[in-house]
Amino acid sequence: MDLLESCGVEAVGIAVAVVAVAAGAAYFYLGRKSKGSLDPENFRDFKLVQKIQLSHNVAKFRFALPAPTSVLGLPIGQHISCRGKDNLGEEVIKPYTPTTLDSDIGYFELVIKMYPQGRMSHHFREIKVGDYLSVKGPKGRFKYQVGQVRAFGMIAGGSGITPMFQVTRAILENPKDKTKVQLIYANVTYEDILLKEELDSLARNYPDRFQIYYVLNQPPESWDGGVGFVSKDMIKSHCPAPAHDIQVLRCCGLPPMNKAMAAHLDDLGYTKEMQFQF
């Protein structure tokens, strides 16, 4: 999965706002969800209704669901397949993890980092409000359920933050979920950090349940986070210790980092059952 290729509309009436609140409460408090908008076998088209440029190569895309009360229907920890065309007009399909949950009704959002030579990046650079994106899903081997572990450690690199953000947000915003999360998030520069405002907000709002440790290879002068590459000492200090009721999730993008993190976790005593790679 090439996750380095991965990863508001204002309210228009009191009635829609009330429906949104009710649907969100039902999602978390009652455990009931409307029928999802995805099809695991066939691509469906969703209209782009908002595109916000977050930096020179990162944008947030909001796509409308079939109705204001629709949900995407994506299980926590899973992703979608998006279909587009590269600069040669050839079809390309890539996996992405939305940053929204089924408590966000009527739409879903993708935060995409676009690379100069990326085939799907070309599609996202060219797509305009009013255009449609073809999506299929859900996809993926990971399905989160409340209480499956006492705590998660997470190691993410670059755009690999999107599945971690999805899982973390779902855990923290569910009042019935007491799972703790410790996240290590690595990037090259400060400007490369995706979803930093959202992550910092979660850390402020849930200090007893969520901790994040940023690591930069090329930090600014005033940087007080980690420096260089994610090390065994960083994992030991900023992830839960090996135990039968914890799990370390990793989504590091490039194969060398994934391989290095797997080796670090093995050396620190995390069994294969305690590890999961997106």
**Domain CATH for 237:** 3.40.50.80
pLDDT exceeds cutoff 60 at 209:
yes
Give yes or no: residues 108 and 155 share one domain.
no
Average pLDDT over residues 163-189: 96
What's the CATH number where 47 sits?
2.40.30.10
Give yes or no: residues 225 and 179 share one domain.
yes
pLDDT exceeds cutoff 70 at 7:
no
* Last-in-domain residue among 79, 113, 139: 139
Average pLDDT over residues 101-109: 96
Cβ atoms of 153 and 94 closer than 8 Å: no
1 domain-assigned: no
Domain count, the chain: 2
pLDDT exceeds cutoff 90 at 86:
yes
* Last-in-domain residue among 139, 171, 187: 139
Q: Known catalytic residues?
A: 79, 96-97, 251
Cα gap 145→171, rounded to integer Å = 9
What are the start-end ranges of the H helices in 128-205? 161-172, 196-205
10-48 pLDDT, tens digit per residue, is 333 333 333 333 344 444 433 444 579 999 999 999 999
Give yes or no: residues 165 and 270 share one domain.
yes
- How buried is 128 (Cβ within 10 angstroms: 0-12 exposed, 13-18 middle, 19+ buried)? exposed
**Of 8-17, 175-184, 256-265, which range is least confident?**
8-17
Which residue range is the domain that position 41 belongs to? 14-21+28-139
Mean pLDDT of the chain: 88
Average pLDDT over residues 177-195: 96
Structure pTM?
Answer: 0.84
